Amino acid sequence: MQLNHYIDHTLLAAHATTLEIKKLCREAIEHKFYAVCVNSSRVKNAKEILEGSKVQLAVTIGFPLGASSTASKTKEAETAIAHGADEIDMVMNIGFLKDGKSDLVQAEIEKIKMAIGDKILKVIIETCYLSEDEIRFASNLVMRAGADFVKTSTGFGSRGASLKDVKIMKEMVGDQVKIKASGGIRDAETARKYIKLGVARIGTSSGIKIVS
């Protein structure tokens, strides 16, 4: 099990500087991580360093609350792709989900997936705010909407991923949609536990520590 191939090397802090983003990308190339994950304002900074490497560029959309309009999320995604993003990590509108507006939530995911074409779409359902039944429902909704991944967390909620959350998500989506666990994964032992549950990708700012 080569842990580096599962890692999205992540820096999403509001105070992250250009130099820190470029350092993140150089680290990802050095350690052969699968991807880096940055905020959408940092696409060009990251692409400049990653150009010509095998490291994928994942970009967050509607981050971290997911409560912005569908129009703004869609435009943000389109702009990110135009500037070189390979993958989009969007935040689901959790409030709409809890309002019972599942049709609007699904339509938003479908619209963004359509806007980015064959690029990878991950949908963050922010499990810390959901009941077990809501995690099942949200995971199923992401699958129905045609996204490529369902993702646990932003890392900015009340907690990050949990093994229990991932078990519930895996039971719901099986092999039809991949799972990304993110938030609070800081060591190799924990990373391996998630991978054994069927996680395809791990979002972490502790990637170097994990592989070392």
pLDDT band at 140 (very low <50, low <70, confident <90, very high): very high
Query: Mean per-residue pLDDT for 193-207?
Result: 98
Q: 182 and 207 in contact (C-beta within 8 Å)?
A: no
Q: What is the mean pLDDT of the chain?
A: 98
| pLDDT of 156 over the 90 cut | yes
The class of domain 3-211 in CATH terms is alpha beta
Q: What is the pTM of this model?
A: 0.98
CA angle 98, 102, 103 (to 5 degrees): 150
Domain regions of the chain by residue span: 3-211
156, two tokens: 């900015």
pLDDT of residue 94: 98
Give residue 1's pLDDT.
Answer: 81
Which of the following is catalytic: 86, 89, 148, 165?
A: 89
* pLDDT tens, position by position, 55-112: 999 999 999 999 999 999 999 999 999 999 999 999 999 999 999 999 999 999 999 9
Cα dihedral sign, 91-96-98-103? negative
Does residue 115 surpass a pLDDT of 90? yes
Query: For residue range 38-50, what is the model confidence (pLDDT) as tens digits?
Result: 999 999 999 999 9
- Taking alpha carbons only, the member of 100, 102, 103, 146 closest to residue 123 is 146
**SS3 for 58-125, per residue?**
EEEECCCCCCCCHHHHHHHHHHHHHCCCCEEEEECCHHHHHHCCHHHHHHHHHHHHHHHCCCEEEEEC
Active site residue 180: yes
From CA 144, how far away is CA 133, in angstroms rounded? 16
What is residue 53's DSSP assignment? S
With cut-offs at 50, 70 and 90, classify the pLDDT of residue 208.
very high
- Give the residue-averaged pLDDT of 115-132: 98
147 contacts: CB under 8 Å, gap ≥ 6: 109, 113, 121, 122, 123, 177
**Catalytic (active site) residue 151:** yes
